[in-house]
Structure 1
Amino acid sequence: MGTAKIFGIVLFLAIIALTMYVTYLASKKNRSTEDFYAAGRTLTGWQNGLAIAGDYLSAASFLGIAGLVALNGYDGFMYAVGWLMGYVVVLYIVAEPLRNSGKFTLADALAYRLKPTPVRTTTAFVTMVVTMFYMLAQMVGAGVIIQLLVGIPYEASVLIIGVLMIVYVLFGGMLATSWVQIIKAVLLMFATIALILILFFMFKFNPSNLFGAVIEKNGADFLTPGKLYKNPIDLISLGIALILGTAGLPHLLIRFYTVPTAQEARKSVIWGMILIGIFYILIAFVGFGASVLVGPDEIRAADKGGNMAAPLLAQYLGGGPGTIGGEIFKAAIAAVSFATIVAVVAGLVITAAGAFAHDIYTNVFKRGVADPKKQFTIARRAALVIGGLSIVIGILGKGQNVAYLVALAFAIAASANLPVIIFSMYWKRFNTAGAVSGMLVGTISAVSLVMLGPSVMGENAVFPLANPGIISVPLGFLTSVIVSLLTKPEPIDGRYEELDVKANTGLGAET
């Protein structure tokens, strides 16, 4: 076994040991449902901001964006812009009112002034759908990437990640999950900055030299639109889904329940935006560097989707293939990728567990009257079952196209969740029928259009666009509005006024 391989294994074991120690410390404080779902509301704004960055910057961001930029130039970077701009919507529209009006899950806020049983049931269903598609993409991507980078068989990679995330969630709850995400965010930023510093050193710390080399290698068109998204409507549709979908992803929204005040919630969004913004700017340079130094042909030879661009650049910067420095640097990037995937999947598991245990079991089956200890037990059992299910679907999903799964998760979040979040907070005439129908139509239209589109059907596609956002998002909004206007309004009981005060002032929050 070579030095580089041993170094890679040591790094993997070190990351596992560190995160397991964090889980052990968190398990001592994980005694109630509030601890399990919301980390006891003990995180500060900057801590939650780091955790948000850790949750949001998945393997798709680290490996996928670098590959998209390396192979497609300007258009690849536009994918990152869409994800970053989504946090503007979160900051100004969603973060503070959602934190003030909810307790543990997205359904808490939506059901406050609407009929709780149908709203909680539908919201939990949509949360499960979004979470499972997103989780399947992460698990399939994890198996493929770790297999390529380290040589561990696909099934073993999925099993290892699944077992680790179950341990994090089952014993440490949201507190352990949050700190695993914080550790991952720090590792990811450190690895990216290290790549950039060495890359810039080669180009005398002058970006113009890098872009000049990009043009010389790939032509001037590489830095202009049109290489990846030849149809402008497709790019607009993707942008709608990415920007609006961010504000509807359940596993990101529940992070705002982990802070003690609305002010800390706003701070956490700002910290998250700063870190995510810096990362996406840096990862674009990683992609451009890989396009010059590694080359598109070699990147495609390793993985046709371009996911190996960052590791191959690390290998080149460390000395090249076969050198100790190159293989060690590549192994370090592999270890960071591993931490990235585990952290994101742990957040997804706790989100899905909360949707079942808190929304379905406690508030639908038990009508909100359940023993706290029993709730805690059900939550942990749900996490165990969902974690086991994610391992199974990850193994069964081998060979699936992960790109459309991620796009589908964002499209559903934008089409089903965001309209209901906005209308429940800001529109008095909005009612239960509008909420339920909007979520169902948004979900069904997004799933159907993706399944009929080129991501699944290829050249035989019935729907011409890869992302359905331009159709499914307006459908979700319009359905919510039309059905609300055609059906009876909610009873005049002052619940909207209570929610309005609570959402904007924080008075009575968490009760």
Structure 2
Amino acid sequence: MIKLLALLSIFSVSVFAAGDASFEATKRDLNIPAIIMFFIFIVGTLGITYWAAKKTKSASDFYTAGGGISGFQNGMAIAGDYMSAAAFLGVSGLIYLKGYDGVIYAVSFLVGWPIILFFMAEKLRNLGKFTFADIAAYRLGQKEIRTLAAFGSLSVVILYLIAQMVGAGKLIQVLFGMEYEFAVILVGVMMIIYVTFGGMLATTWVQIIKACLLLTGVSFMAIMVLYHFDFNFESLAVSAVENHSDGESILAPGGFISDPISAISLGMALMLGTAGLPHVLMRFFTVGNAKEARKSVVYATGFVGYFWIIITIVGFGAIAFLNSADGAQYFVDGKLFGGNNMASIHLSHMLGGNAFLGFISAVAFATILAVVSGLTLAGASAISHDIYANVINPQASDEKIVKISRITVIAVGILGVILGIAFEQQNIAYMVGLAFGIAASANFPILFLSIYWRKLTTRGAFIGGFIGLITAVVLVVVGPIVWVQILGNEEAIFPYKHPALFSVTTAFIAIWFFSITDNSQRAKDEQEKFRAQNIRANTGFGANTAVEH
């Protein structure tokens, strides 16, 4: 079956590439070296999926690769998960567009990792099994907490997925000249194949390989950019200022974030949201013990921190090179071909020709495919493990749970395609910022307080968590992007693009209030259970039952 699907997916790429090349033929010829490398990657990753499918037998295999991933491997895979289309294409595009404010995204994305390292990693591994809801529901009501966690996870997954689908669609549109809609459908088909058959094992190895290739590619780009300026970043910045239409203002804040509330809200979303991303948190259950979980974060932080330094150089390099006289070939009707998200892709062509463009394009596609696979797996686990296996049918067999997961993967894939087409014009880094905001508002408060606050009760977590989730979603919908740009209204009801400052604060206050006012016997019993939970979280006693081997 998987061989047949692999052949169908490769055939579909061939048909799209051949049949719709004329769509942008007047703007950009087909890049044969790029397409060849693209196909090499497709075939290689399908081979990994086929290998992983033969090893994926149980629910533990499907969700956590059986807990057999080492700390270094997991750290590389976490970095691969985190270095998404928003990171590579979106943030470099933001820096290309506005300079300094794009760098704020890069810094904010990084500062969430110390929170995970010092407060979360070991405790997650000691307390959990498949998803972060296992920790939140450890001493609280299974039905209420897992339902809340599933809604929070799915909200984050869907927003994050939109960003990746938009990036993938634009990338393949530039590479093949096919229509955007067909490109998004192609990505959806590939994602469904990878996750449905390969599970976490295939996803992990695609992420590891992609992380190595991406770090290599962007390092080469940064070295080539700095080489042209004698490895002097000041000279690069001067050239960028001279070539950008906004001049020196690209070195000052205010391009995207024009007021203190927006700056604090964005920083809070990206910092706390990192510790609430379901597809990142899932990765801590793929290692064998808490020590390996801690090592995972140390390695991931190093890889991601290096990556953000390099992306800053690439972003300013895109300003300096693409806005020069030689960069005119990448513009159509005064606009960058493929949009600002494609700035780093065009820069790779200027620096290394067709061959390097092919490599970077294939790596960018690998980046997107690896992340959407992790996201889809997280969404599937929220439905199958948290809702079906622990709320609807606690007696369900492994086979039934995995079957539900695979059905969910297909549903999430279809939804991702539809929304990816609807949000075509949005910057993917901004879309991910919204996903982080919801993760910070709905997932992080419940997870953090369940680990550290003895007085947390099911009532407080459930009501407060939903208030945080609903507040974040509603403020996103009535904010400037969705209410004005997507829905076409004249003025936003909520004036700020990022709601985290308000929604996170609301969530913590609501959880606190509804917990301390809960005087039921159930609440007292849950508080009594905190001591045993705390011992296991810190010592790991009993954690050997967390993952089925």
Q: Shared fold by TM > 0.5?
A: yes
Amino acid at match of 1:461: A
Structure-1 residue corresponding to 2:13:
none
Structure-1 residue corresponding to 2:166:
140
Q: Is the 8 A contact 1:140 1:402 kept in 2?
A: yes
Superposed displacement of residue 397, structure 1: 4.5
Structure-2 residue corresponding to 1:238:
266
Structure-2 residue corresponding to 1:461:
492
Structure-1 residue corresponding to 2:3:
none
Structure-1 residue corresponding to 2:450:
424
Structure-2 residue corresponding to 1:365:
392
Residues in 2 aligned to 1:391 and 1:257: alpha-carbon distance in whole angstroms = 29
Could you say what secondary structure the match of 2:316 adopts?
helix
Structure-1 residue corresponding to 2:540:
506
Structure-2 residue corresponding to 1:275:
303
Superposed displacement of residue 303, structure 1: 5.5
Q: Aligned pair count?
A: 503
Q: Deviations over 1:287-322 (max 9, x none)?
A: 11111111299677115862121112122223xxxx
Q: Deviations over 1:319-370 (max 9, x none)?
A: xxxxxx2x3333332222211111110001111111111111111012x322
Amino acid at match of 1:482: F
Amino acid at match of 1:355: A
Q: Is the 8 A contact 1:70 1:306 kept in 2?
A: yes
Q: What CA RMSD, in Å, does the superposition of the two structures yield over aligned residues?
A: 2.1
Amino acid at match of 1:302: L
State percent identity of aligned pairs: 46
Q: What are the residue-to-residue correspondences of 1:251-266 with 2, within 5 Å?
A: 251-266=279-294
Residues in 2 aligned to 1:417 and 1:163: alpha-carbon distance in whole angstroms = 29
Superposed displacement of residue 228, structure 1: 2.9
Q: Is the 8 A contact 1:162 1:387 kept in 2?
A: yes
Could you say what secondary structure the match of 2:276 adopts?
coil
Query: Are residue 484 (structure 1) and residue 515 (structure 2) matched?
Result: yes
Residues in 1 aligned to 2:233 and 2:426: alpha-carbon distance in whole angstroms = 37
User: Cα gap change, 1:391/1:213 in structure 2, threshold over 3 Å: closer, same or farther?
Assistant: closer
Query: Are residue 344 (structure 1) and residue 376 (structure 2) matched?
Result: no
Query: Are residue 292 (structure 1) and residue 320 (structure 2) matched?
Result: yes
Structure-1 residue corresponding to 2:351:
317
Amino acid at match of 1:91: L
Amino acid at match of 2:518: T
- Give the gaps of 5 or more residues in structure 2: 1-20, 22-27, 485-489
Residues in 1 aligned to 2:281 and 2:519: alpha-carbon distance in whole angstroms = 30
Query: Are residue 71 (structure 1) and residue 104 (structure 2) matched?
Result: no
Residues in 2 aligned to 1:497 and 1:59: alpha-carbon distance in whole angstroms = 42
Structure-2 residue corresponding to 1:115:
141
Residues in 1 aligned to 2:519 and 2:170: alpha-carbon distance in whole angstroms = 51
Residues in 2 aligned to 1:442 and 1:303: alpha-carbon distance in whole angstroms = 39
Query: Are residue 409 (structure 1) and residue 435 (structure 2) matched?
Result: yes
Q: Is the 8 A contact 1:150 1:334 kept in 2?
A: no
Q: What are the residue-to-residue correspondences of 1:15-30 with 2, within 5 Å?
A: 15-30=41-56
Superposed displacement of residue 385, structure 1: 3.1
Which of 15, 35, 50 is the matching residue for 1:9? 35
Q: Is the 8 A contact 1:404 1:455 kept in 2?
A: no
Q: Deviations over 1:210-241 (max 9, x none)?
A: 23323444544432323332212211111111
Structure-1 residue corresponding to 2:501:
470
Q: Is the 8 A contact 1:143 1:155 kept in 2?
A: yes
Query: Are residue 83 (structure 1) and residue 109 (structure 2) matched?
Result: yes
Stretches of 4+ moved more than 4 A in 1? 1-4, 296-300, 396-404
User: Cα gap change, 1:145/1:3 in structure 2, threshold over 3 Å: closer, same or farther?
Assistant: closer
Residues in 2 aligned to 1:53 and 1:247: alpha-carbon distance in whole angstroms = 14
Could you say what secondary structure the match of 2:253 adopts?
coil
Superposed displacement of residue 439, structure 1: 1.7
Q: Is the 8 A contact 1:314 1:330 kept in 2?
A: yes
Could you say what secondary structure the match of 1:120 adopts?
helix
Residues in 1 aligned to 2:280 and 2:297: alpha-carbon distance in whole angstroms = 10
Length-normalised TM-score, structure 1: 0.93
Residues in 1 aligned to 2:478 and 2:396: alpha-carbon distance in whole angstroms = 43
Residues in 2 aligned to 1:385 and 1:307: alpha-carbon distance in whole angstroms = 27
Q: Is the 8 A contact 1:66 1:310 kept in 2?
A: yes
Q: Deviations over 1:122-150 (max 9, x none)?
A: 11121111111211222133213321343
Amino acid at match of 1:241: A
Query: Are residue 33 (structure 1) and residue 59 (structure 2) matched?
Result: yes
Residues in 2 aligned to 1:158 and 1:71: alpha-carbon distance in whole angstroms = 24
Query: Are residue 388 (structure 1) and residue 422 (structure 2) matched?
Result: no
Q: Is the 8 A contact 2:90 2:428 kept in 1?
A: no
Could you say what secondary structure the match of 2:395 adopts?
coil
Residues in 2 aligned to 1:378 and 1:87: alpha-carbon distance in whole angstroms = 32
Q: Is the 8 A contact 1:112 1:495 kept in 2?
A: no
Superposed displacement of residue 392, structure 1: 3.7
- More displaced 10-residue stretch of structure 1: 125-134 or 451-460: 451-460
Query: Are residue 496 (structure 1) and residue 527 (structure 2) matched?
Result: no
Superposed displacement of residue 481, structure 1: 0.4
Could you say what secondary structure the match of 2:55 adopts?
coil
Superposed displacement of residue 374, structure 1: 2.3
- More displaced 10-residue stretch of structure 1: 152-161 or 373-382: 373-382
Residues in 2 aligned to 1:76 and 1:107: alpha-carbon distance in whole angstroms = 33
Could you say what secondary structure the match of 1:260 adopts?
coil
Query: Are residue 173 (structure 1) and residue 204 (structure 2) matched?
Result: no
Q: Is the 8 A contact 2:434 2:498 kept in 1?
A: yes
Could you say what secondary structure the match of 2:256 adopts?
coil
Q: What are the residue-to-residue correspondences of 1:299-314 with 2, within 5 Å?
A: 301-302=335-336, 306-314=340-348
Structure-2 residue corresponding to 1:321:
none
Amino acid at match of 2:379: A
Residues in 2 aligned to 1:156 and 1:328: alpha-carbon distance in whole angstroms = 25
Amino acid at match of 1:280: W
Q: Deviations over 1:477-504 (max 9, x none)?
A: 1110011111236243642112101111
Residues in 2 aligned to 1:73 and 1:6: alpha-carbon distance in whole angstroms = 33
Amino acid at match of 1:507: F
Q: Is the 8 A contact 1:4 1:331 kept in 2?
A: no
- More displaced 10-residue stretch of structure 1: 104-113 or 331-340: 331-340
Q: Deviations over 1:249-278 (max 9, x none)?
A: 111101100000101101111111111110
Residues in 2 aligned to 1:405 and 1:3: alpha-carbon distance in whole angstroms = 30
Amino acid at match of 1:375: I
